[in-house]
Protein backbone atom coordinates (compact mmCIF):
# COMPACT_ATOMS: atom_id res chain seq x y z
CA UNK A 1 0.00 0.00 0.00
CA UNK A 2 1.31 3.48 -0.86
CA UNK A 3 2.05 5.74 2.09
CA UNK A 4 2.75 9.45 1.66
CA UNK A 5 5.64 9.41 4.14
CA UNK A 6 7.49 6.59 2.37
CA UNK A 7 10.06 7.51 -0.28
CA UNK A 8 9.53 5.69 -3.52
CA UNK A 9 12.09 4.52 -6.10
CA UNK A 10 13.85 6.25 -7.89
CA UNK A 11 14.07 8.79 -5.02
CA UNK A 12 17.86 9.32 -4.68
CA UNK A 13 17.74 9.15 -0.85
CA UNK A 14 17.16 5.40 -1.23
CA UNK A 15 20.65 5.12 -2.75
CA UNK A 16 22.45 6.95 0.06
CA UNK A 17 24.43 5.18 2.75
CA UNK A 18 22.91 5.80 6.19
CA UNK A 19 25.08 7.09 9.04
CA UNK A 20 25.79 5.25 12.24
CA UNK A 21 23.80 6.53 15.26
CA UNK A 22 26.37 8.01 17.63
CA UNK A 23 24.10 8.79 20.55
CA UNK A 24 20.90 6.98 21.50
CA UNK A 25 18.48 9.63 22.75
CA UNK A 26 14.80 10.56 22.79
CA UNK A 27 15.03 11.56 19.14
CA UNK A 28 16.02 8.02 18.17
CA UNK A 29 13.17 6.59 20.24
CA UNK A 30 10.79 8.88 18.38
CA UNK A 31 12.16 7.80 15.00
CA UNK A 32 11.58 4.14 15.97
CA UNK A 33 8.00 4.89 17.02
CA UNK A 34 7.34 6.83 13.86
CA UNK A 35 8.81 4.03 11.72
CA UNK A 36 6.60 1.46 13.46
CA UNK A 37 3.51 3.59 12.89
CA UNK A 38 4.28 4.07 9.19
CA UNK A 39 5.14 0.38 8.71
CA UNK A 40 1.78 -0.59 10.22
CA UNK A 41 -0.17 1.97 8.22
CA UNK A 42 1.52 0.74 5.04
CA UNK A 43 0.88 -2.89 6.03
CA UNK A 44 4.57 -3.69 5.69
CA UNK A 45 6.65 -6.14 7.71
CA UNK A 46 9.81 -4.06 7.77
CA UNK A 47 11.08 -0.53 7.32
CA UNK A 48 14.47 1.19 7.27
CA UNK A 49 14.95 4.85 8.25
CA UNK A 50 16.16 5.97 4.78
CA UNK A 51 12.75 4.97 3.42
CA UNK A 52 11.28 7.90 5.33
CA UNK A 53 14.17 10.17 4.40
CA UNK A 54 16.18 9.70 7.61
CA UNK A 55 19.77 8.71 6.81
CA UNK A 56 20.48 6.93 10.08
CA UNK A 57 21.12 3.25 10.69
CA UNK A 58 17.77 2.25 12.18
CA UNK A 59 15.50 -0.62 11.13
CA UNK A 60 12.24 -2.09 12.35
CA UNK A 61 10.56 -5.38 11.51
CA UNK A 62 7.28 -7.00 12.51
CA UNK A 63 6.15 -10.28 11.01
CA UNK A 64 3.04 -10.44 13.16
CA UNK A 65 4.70 -13.07 15.30
CA UNK A 66 7.97 -11.38 16.14
CA UNK A 67 9.03 -7.77 16.09
CA UNK A 68 12.35 -6.05 16.38
CA UNK A 69 13.91 -2.59 16.29
CA UNK A 70 17.67 -2.40 15.78
CA UNK A 71 19.94 0.63 15.74
CA UNK A 72 23.33 0.22 14.04
CA UNK A 73 22.62 -3.40 13.06
CA UNK A 74 25.61 -5.50 12.10
CA UNK A 75 25.44 -9.10 10.90
CA UNK A 76 28.02 -11.18 12.75
CA UNK A 77 27.15 -14.61 11.39
CA UNK A 78 24.83 -16.08 8.77
CA UNK A 79 23.82 -19.62 7.94
CA UNK A 80 21.52 -21.55 5.66
CA UNK A 81 20.09 -20.37 2.38
CA UNK A 82 16.75 -20.14 0.67
CA UNK A 83 15.01 -18.23 -2.08
CA UNK A 84 11.90 -16.16 -1.44
CA UNK A 85 9.98 -13.49 -3.27
CA UNK A 86 10.42 -10.07 -1.70
CA UNK A 87 8.55 -6.82 -2.12
CA UNK A 88 9.51 -3.37 -0.86
CA UNK A 89 7.34 -0.48 0.31
CA UNK A 90 9.63 1.82 -1.69
CA UNK A 91 9.16 -0.12 -4.96
CA UNK A 92 5.42 -0.74 -5.05
CA UNK A 93 4.11 -3.53 -7.23
CA UNK A 94 7.50 -5.20 -7.72
CA UNK A 95 8.37 -8.65 -6.35
CA UNK A 96 11.75 -10.29 -6.84
CA UNK A 97 13.10 -13.69 -5.87
CA UNK A 98 16.16 -13.30 -3.68
CA UNK A 99 18.52 -15.88 -2.20
CA UNK A 100 19.52 -15.12 1.39
CA UNK A 101 20.74 -16.90 4.53
CA UNK A 102 17.93 -18.27 6.73
CA UNK A 103 19.61 -17.62 10.08
CA UNK A 104 21.59 -14.60 11.23
CA UNK A 105 23.26 -13.33 14.35
CA UNK A 106 23.00 -9.57 14.59
CA UNK A 107 24.62 -7.06 16.94
CA UNK A 108 23.17 -3.62 17.56
CA UNK A 109 21.32 -1.39 19.98
CA UNK A 110 17.74 -2.20 20.96
CA UNK A 111 14.85 0.19 21.43
CA UNK A 112 15.83 0.79 25.08
CA UNK A 113 19.28 1.92 24.09
CA UNK A 114 21.01 -1.27 25.23
CA UNK A 115 23.64 -3.17 23.27
CA UNK A 116 22.29 -6.53 22.30
CA UNK A 117 22.80 -9.58 20.09
CA UNK A 118 19.91 -11.25 18.34
CA UNK A 119 19.70 -14.69 16.77
CA UNK A 120 17.01 -14.45 14.13
CA UNK A 121 15.66 -17.00 11.69
CA UNK A 122 12.95 -17.47 9.12
CA UNK A 123 10.87 -14.57 7.82
CA UNK A 124 12.22 -12.05 10.32
CA UNK A 125 15.81 -12.92 9.32
CA UNK A 126 14.89 -12.14 5.74
CA UNK A 127 13.24 -8.86 6.74
CA UNK A 128 16.26 -7.76 8.79
CA UNK A 129 18.64 -8.50 5.90
CA UNK A 130 16.41 -6.61 3.47
CA UNK A 131 16.29 -3.59 5.81
CA UNK A 132 20.06 -3.63 6.42
CA UNK A 133 20.45 -3.53 2.63
CA UNK A 134 18.45 -0.28 2.68
CA UNK A 135 20.96 1.24 5.12
CA UNK A 136 23.63 0.66 2.49
CA UNK A 137 21.57 2.02 -0.39
CA UNK A 138 20.93 -1.48 -1.74
CA UNK A 139 17.47 -2.33 -3.12
CA UNK A 140 15.81 -5.57 -4.19
CA UNK A 141 16.21 -4.61 -7.86
CA UNK A 142 19.98 -4.79 -7.40
CA UNK A 143 19.63 -8.57 -7.24
CA UNK A 144 18.37 -8.66 -10.82
CA UNK A 145 20.58 -9.46 -13.79
CA UNK A 146 21.30 -6.57 -16.19
CA UNK A 147 18.67 -7.86 -18.61
CA UNK A 148 16.05 -8.29 -15.87
CA UNK A 149 16.85 -4.81 -14.56
CA UNK A 150 16.17 -3.25 -17.95
CA UNK A 151 12.85 -5.02 -18.10
CA UNK A 152 12.06 -3.87 -14.56
CA UNK A 153 12.80 -0.23 -15.49
CA UNK A 154 10.44 -0.35 -18.44
CA UNK A 155 7.64 -1.97 -16.48
CA UNK A 156 8.15 0.25 -13.46
CA UNK A 157 7.93 3.44 -15.51
CA UNK A 158 4.68 2.22 -16.94
CA UNK A 159 3.43 1.29 -13.48
CA UNK A 160 4.37 4.69 -12.03
CA UNK A 161 2.90 6.74 -14.86
CA UNK A 162 -0.37 4.85 -14.58
CA UNK A 163 -0.35 5.58 -10.87
CA UNK A 164 -0.13 9.34 -11.12
CA UNK A 165 -3.09 10.85 -12.96
NI1 LIG B 1 12.40 -2.40 1.27
For domain 12-163, the CATH architecture is Alpha-Beta Complex (3.90)
Catalytic site includes residue 131 = yes
Give the closest residue to 50 by CA, choosing from 123, 141, 111, 136. Answer: 136
Q: Which of 16, 41, 111, 131 is catalytic?
A: 131
Residue ranges of domains in the chain: 12-163
Which residues are registered as beta bridge partners of 82?
A: 100
Q: What is the pTM of this model?
A: 0.95
How far away, in angstroms, is 44 Cα from ligand 1 center? Answer: 9
Per-residue pLDDT of the chain (165 residues), as tens digits, is 678 999 999 999 999 999 999 999 999 999 999 999 999 999 999 999 999 999 999 999 999 999 999 999 999 999 999 999 999 999 999 999 999 999 999 999 999 999 999 999 999 999 999 999 999 999 999 999 999 999 999 999 998 887 654
Amino acid sequence: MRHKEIRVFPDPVLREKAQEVKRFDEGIREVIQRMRRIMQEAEGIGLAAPQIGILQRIIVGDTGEERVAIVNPEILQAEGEDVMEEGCLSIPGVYIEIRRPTWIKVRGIDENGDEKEWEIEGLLARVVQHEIDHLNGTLIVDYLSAREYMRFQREYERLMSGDEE
